[in-house]
Amino acid sequence: MQALSAAASWSAYAPRTSAPSRTRRNHIFYVRESKGQTTRAALSPSINISIPAPAWKDYRLFHSSEPPHSVTCPKAAISAPADTSADTTSTESLARYVAAHGGKRVIRKVLIANNGMAATKAIISMRRWAYNEIGDENAIEFLVMATPEDLKANAEFIRYADDFVEVPGGSNKNNYANVDLIVDIAEREGIDAVWPGWGHASENPKLPTALKERSIQFIGPTAPVMSVLGDKIAANILAQTAKVPSIPWSGDGLEAILTEEGTIPIDIFNKAMVTTIDECLESANRIGYPVMLKASEGGGGKGIRMSANDDELRVNFEMVKAEVPGSPMFMMQLCTQARHLEVQIVGDEYGNAVALSGRDCSTQRRFQKIFEEGPPSIAEPQVFREMEKAAQRLTRNIGYIGAGTVEYLYNAETHDYFFLELNPRLQVEHPVTEGITGVNLPATQLQVAMGIPLNRIPDIRKFYGLEADADSPIDFMEEDYVLPDRHLIAARITAENPDEGFKPTSGGIERVSFQSTPSVWGYFSVGANGGVHEYADSQFGHIFAVGVTREDARKSLVLALKGMVVRGEIRTAVEYLVQLLETDDFKANTIDTSWLDGIIKAKSIAMKEDPHTIVASAVIYRAFQMVKSEEAAFKEFWQKGQTATQGITRLTQFPMDITYQDVKYSFTVQRRGPDSLVLSLRGEDLIHARIRERSDGVLLGIWGGQTHEIDGLEEPLGLRMVLDGQTWLLPNQFDPSELRTDVTGKLIRFLQDDGCEVVAGKPYAEVEAMKMVMPLIATESGTVSHAKSGGAVIEAGDLLGTLKLKDPNKVKKISPFGGKFRFSSDEGSDAPPSASEALEDAINATNLLLDGYFLPVEETVNILLERLCDPTLPDIDGGRWQRACSVLNGIVDRYLAVECIFAGKKVDAVMREQIRINSGELDTLLKIVLAHARINQRTQMVISLLKQAPTLPQRIMGGPIGWADDHAPISDEFRASIERLSNLRGADYGEVALTASNILLEKRLPSIDKRLLELKSILLGGVGLDRAWGTAEAGDLKSLIESPTLAVDLLPSLFADTDTDVADAALEVYTKRVYRAHNVISTDIVRSEGLDSMNFKFQFNTYPEESPLRFGIMVVTSTLDQARAQMSAILDRLSDHIGNAPKDTPIHVLHIALSDQIEDPALADCCAALLNEYRGRMAELGVKFVNVISYVPPNLPHYYTFTAASGYQEDPLYRGERPTVAHLLELARLENYNLTRLPTVNRDLHVYVGESKQGFGKRGLQKHMLLRRISHSRDAADGGIERVLGKAVEALDLASLDPRTKGTSSGRIYINFLPVQTNSPFDVCVSSLKTKVLEFISRNSTELLAQQVDEIEIRFRIAENPGSAVQVPVRIMATSMSGQWLKVDVYREYLDPQTGKATQFCMLDKDGSEEACFLEPYPMPGTLQQKRSIARAIGTTYIYDFLGLIEKAMVLEWRQYIAASGGGEVPVDMFRAEELVLSSGDENLSKAEASRIAGSNDIGMVAWQCFMKTPEYPDGREIVLVGNDCTFMSGSFGVKEDDFYFAVSQYARQRGLPRVYIASNSGARIGLVEELKPYFKVAWNDASNPSLGFKYLYLSPDDYAAFPAGTVNASEVIDDGETRMKLDDIIGQIHGIGVENLRGSGMIAGEQSAAYADAFTLSYITGRSVGIGAYLCRLGQRNIQMTNGPLILTGYLALNKLLGREVYTSQDQLGGPQVMMPNGVSHMQVGDDQEGVRAILRWLSYVPSTCFTRSSALPSTDPVSRKIEFKPTKTPYDPRHMIAGTEAVDGSWVGGFFDKGSWTETMAEWGKSVVCGRARLGGIPMGVIAVETRLMEQRIPADPANPESRETVLAQAGEGWVPDSSPKKTT
């Protein structure tokens, strides 16, 4: 650490990390006098030596375990021993040194009775002396005292010491100022001497007295001298006695002769004191203001206050008394314009006193020194020499021993000086003297304590220019020293806040960085991860700078302070010190002791920085720290097994408010990358900042072309931020009525009593912090209420009291920022990036967007494509297009890498899985979740790229290259990635999957050029057509016309081909294809008079003898302008073609092909305008419609149709359609819907979103997906129906991805098969087609349910007889409109021969005869459809539709059984359901007399008795099916529902029938008395403040009387002079909306339990089941749960409100399968309702028909005689293989114990050490329980409501019972 190396510069050694064990502590050498007295010396026990004693004494030295040896020395007090060994010890060396320099005693072990800076400096200095003089830095052993606070703060002095003793913490009276404690430690630890330092007990005479009594040396003056000189009153009296000039003070004129004890007579001493406030005021007025009130035992700025008037003096009197309790006080006049100069003196026990130059300490703040410098150049040399001699005389006269300081006030103008005080101790600033004299003062103290004379101390001798080791005398009063040419300035580093009047601060210190140089050094009392506690002195460092001149030293100090860094919780004044050093007054040395206080009061020095830069830096710092802490919180959360991700978006965009200088800035912060932020204000992006965090935690913020260093600390009162080396406080917004402390310490007292007035700007309390007493100033006036009492320990931010504001309107208010925010927009003038670099930047930006960061989507995409298409990009291997594909593939893969994890899955399940996968790399999981959180932006970016991909080949490579062109191939990897995109499913992926599917389809098609070339060859008869679903021989135009794969829309491009054969063939094929549903009688090409046309005749082919002959022409021209010029000729040609045929009815057609018409949005309007001019003529000709085709070859054409019915204006229903498509798709029947067409690649397949034109109920307009398809397939009866229907369902699935389909409630399919079915008799053909539709529905019910298909309509033309020309239109309809889902019926159509529209539909029965006939367009959705829509919206199936699902599932069961058994047929009438109703009279349950219309139930529950023919019961069995109608009051349980359920359950139980309950409900019904809501009133406790609550609710007497009796219970009261009806009970008139439902809940719960005991009960949870609904399922025991069907007691939103935070994100976290399956509540889990119905049937297959019979055996194809092929292994294996069999490695089947395919497992997730289920053995149903042989895991998930809970994984050994497997076995 830099700070440590700086401190180490004080010595020639590196400080040790720990003190070595000192075994010699227990080995003591004694120096014994010959008379028997013994003196201890801490010598090494390694050898016995003799030390010569003084001549007048005979000393003997011996080891405690060896005999003594005697030696005498007649001259020296201690003489040096002879070297008797090369391996002499440090103790011997120390003894020799003492002896050689005339010392009296050897001090080997020193107790440092101090801490912090004092202890650190003493140990460093003494160790340096020991190394320099003796050669061993460990010659002196140091023991220190350490409080718990020092240990916690990692204080440096503890590390430098050899050992420490832990002492009590708290105030220094408990430790460092505790004389008894110090003496006890010294005595107990065998201490030779105690070094007191400064402060604490250093000036307490009791300490040297007590030590002397125990023969322990005190390193300092004797007790009497300390008492005199340490007391400022006594010192001033002595100064006056010695005629030293003194300033006016409270003891003016007093003189004294010292007593025998060396003290001032008490009567004279008392005369100089002030003891009361009255004495203070009297003395002050005599002396004259300003005055200084001082505590004589104070120091270091403590116990001294300046007062300018009587009021200030009254306050300061209490503060001085509190800072130095018990100390005498005196007063002196403040000497203005004075300098504070000091003389450093050292005296020895021989009466010598040396003056070691002096110091100028005039830069003071509140009498605490800030800078010290030396020598004091402001004083004339001869005057300062007089001051030195005066100090020497004073100390010699009183026999002063040790280091001390005589302080003077000096007037630079008059050169007068006045005695101030004498400090009998070493002072903090003594290193200044060391720096200019070279004298090591702590070491000098030590040597004086050893009895070495001053003239024998080497440093002193060298200071006087004498030989260091000589012993010549020095006359210190007469001889002059010569100072070197140097000046030194020191700065104190303190934990003080200069912005708050230098208030002390406390807290941890992370790092101190200071770089020492030859001209600058320093030392610190704290290290890394240390701190300054509230009981410590605020100074923790001292920096020294030396130079030849004062200015050189000043500059060095400025640079050193600027480079210094202190990181931590404390505040420092380092920046402020730099400002002071840079002032003109300091530079010119014209300051005085009041200079700094004047600057502070005037606030003339303030750090300067643009406030907006400060605000921006604070936002950046807080944003970075917020993101950092949030990320850590998420990772910690997930580490516990929690799965919630809510709030993750806060990591990329969040608001950030900063208040500074009473202005509030409301920013929005967006993260553009892991190290990039954008700050926005009022919607405008202002600052784009890059952030880097250094290893030391400092942020480097780069914006506006500048780099800023930012560090900070959140404090209770706000953010303390260090910006570029300067500290700023950005306070939190606070309540002005709250009085909070900004310091940590102790509350001494309030200055006003509770309830008294506090005045703004005046003190209201006094607190003690770091041994300083300071006032707290009120910011507002008001009446105070105390929140704490005097003596309380307080921390910064604590509430001390509250104010009732005197004038709230005058309180300073925070105003929102409304100006222009200043910031630098200069980002530098770097050279623009190369094309490759720009592309790389664009790719990086795209990747950041994909990673979840906040970038603008369209801008990012456009920049990427612009860079990709940059022609200056260098070529690469594979070419430019390949590079583009690689980039796009990388983007898609990056998107898929995240979204494939989430697609189609629930977030909770994904998180559980990912937490397991990434348990050791939660950073990876954080990246995944962060990216997925911005799925909308990520998806929009991918969609934008995909939509522009087809245009990229041309943009990148130039020329007419399309997406499908062979010149723009895409790699297999890119194609596979797009296919993966197209397969994504889920609400979030619809549009991207649809876009990917469409561009894949486009890419699969050959290029238009190729297709046109092939089409030409086919038209000329050169080649045939060969496609998977349609072929035509070469030259066979008829087969080509009928081919399902003909590219019809390419034909118009050949209408004007230069090869007339091609053009003629194209016109003929196009016309006959378009009119394929008609009988085209003739075609004729006419090319004359500059006009080319195809003339044709046609009629309807259904009833050709009745259909009129129709005429049409196809005119080919170039543009609309050309057509306008030829319009008359066109109509003339049509007229000639029609001839004398009837024209009174519009049946003829006109086609105009514009073969070179550029696309124009206004083309339709222009065409309409042209046709409007000729509409009269066209009406005369009987023109039904005009179809305009516009295109520019080879592009696909645009179609516009203008009908006679609309006055030859365009019909929007026909836009984009070939002329007969709308007729073939029967779009006119969709007139009740507003249609929105969705894009499809197949132009014969249309998908619309149809919104009903009229609303219904509360849900308003309904939306449906309508699919219309024309099929040219000839194989309808041979697989074509299944294929086309399958494609239709796929198309619906694809279309559902379009966002416009959101909210659609059903899907409807219409398919028109154009080829005539001629292979079978009419009735056989009809029956066969109907069967195929039925089977398709049964096999694909899951997919049909997923697409919400409610109607399938297929239109056929069937020959009346095989080979007959008569075509009968037949329509097969599978519809859910009657109630049963997709009930299949067949209809015959009767058409109008003129219009071709159906006049009626007649239902065909089994033998082909007609039943009822009807005709209407598709009806508007009614009640049934609305209910179905409601059910689907909540994720379930409408209850009545379950009957259809059961029937379809039974068909499949029979098909599978027949396939397995090898024969049989599906029985007729295999399923029948009769609805059960509860009669209103006797409340008996019975079958409905007539089949009710589905959805006509008037309660929220329905039931049926179902008759079923199943493979197990081919003759039939019965079950009772009961379920909630979730569309009736949300399926809630009211009284009627409870009674109905009870009756149904008893009905089934009495008959022994299995009862299946289909659950989807909202629990017990709770209602409101709606009619009362407009009338009730509230009696507030305080009408002006409703937040105080209310007394009661009431009605006016008139309103009360208007309600029927019994609606409410009320009592009459009179309140506020008004008669009121106070509401006691609210009952209402509707039964079943209140607590009466709870009675019913209890009733049905009891019935459910009885039913489980008496009969078979099975519940299927198809949707949310709440409260009593969930309880019924639990009591019924056997449960099948759908993935989206949670079982819950209370909804997650309600729980979140109760918990007060967003804990749960879905109902699934409370009762989804992931909760219920592992806990054994649910037995089976299914994915959808069709799978659920199959699971119900499979479970029923094991159950007897009634509880009174046995289960039926199913004929089995797996013979009971076969051997069990599976053999258990010795190693653990899956017991399911033994039960059910398994597949071998080679694919062969290995049979198990039970019939193949009969095994069904239940409760698979619960109690995994046991396997349970059902199977058959020889067709007989069996229950199965097996023990798992493998080691299994039980996972107990974390509770989302408890952030501290963790997921628990318990291992469960196989072949044993564990707590959850035992109940599973019994279940």
425 catalytic residue (yes or no) = yes
Query: What is the identity of the amino acid at 1433?
Result: A
Decide: helix, strand or coil at residue 1522: strand
1460, burial (CB in 10 Å: exposed 0-12, middle 13-18, buried 19+)? middle
- For the sheet with 1471-1478, list strands across it: 1485-1487, 1471-1478, 1501-1508, 1517-1524, 1555-1559, 1657-1661, 1679-1682, 1724-1726
Radius of gyration over every alpha carbon of the chain, rounded to an integer in angstroms: 51
Which residues are bridge partners to 783 per DSSP?
A: 757, 804
Distance CA 1415, CA 1369 (A): 14
Q: Cα–Cα–Cα angle for 1030, 1033, 1039, nearest 5°?
A: 55
Q: Are 1134 and 1182 in contact (CB under 8 A)?
A: no
Q: Cα–Cα–Cα angle for 365, 370, 374, nearest 5°?
A: 130
CB atoms within 10 A of CB 138: 17
Contacts of 1028 (CB under 8 A, 6+ apart): 1045
Distance CA 116, CA 506 (A): 14
Contacts of 618 (CB under 8 A, 6+ apart): 658, 660, 712, 719, 721, 728, 730
Contacts of 1459 (CB under 8 A, 6+ apart): none
CB atoms within 10 A of CB 1253: 11
Distance CA 778, CA 787 (A): 15
DSSP secondary structure letters along 1419-1447: PPP-HHHHHHHHHHHTTS--TTHHHHHHH
Distance CA 1121, CA 1158 (A): 12
Query: What is the identity of the amino acid at 883?
Result: R
Query: What is the identity of the amino acid at 878?
Result: G
Decide: helix, strand or coil at residue 1099: strand
Half-sphere exposure of 1845 (CA within 13 A, CB side): 14
Query: What is the identity of the amino acid at 1794?
Result: F
Q: Are 197 and 299 in contact (CB under 8 A)?
A: no
1585, burial (CB in 10 Å: exposed 0-12, middle 13-18, buried 19+)? exposed
- Identify the CA nearest to 79 among candidates 60, 64, 98, 93: 98
Distance CA 828, CA 826 (A): 5
H helix and E strand count, the chain: 52, 83
Distance CA 536, CA 772 (A): 10
SS (H, E, C) 1598-1661: HHHHHCCCCCEEEEEEEECCEEEEEEEEECCCCCCCCCHHHHHHHHHHHHHHHHHHHCCEEEEE
SS (H, E, C) 1124-1166: HHHHHHHHHHHHHHHCCCCCCCCCEEEEEEECCCCCCCCHHHH
Distance CA 649, CA 932 (A): 10
- Identify the CA nearest to 832 among candidates 823, 824, 841: 841
Please state whether beta strands 291-299 and 329-333 pair in parallel, antiparallel, or not at all (unpaired).
antiparallel
- Identify the CA nearest to 594 among candidates 320, 300, 290: 290
1840, burial (CB in 10 Å: exposed 0-12, middle 13-18, buried 19+)? buried
Active-site annotation holder among 96, 128, 159, 425: 425
Catalytic positions: 425
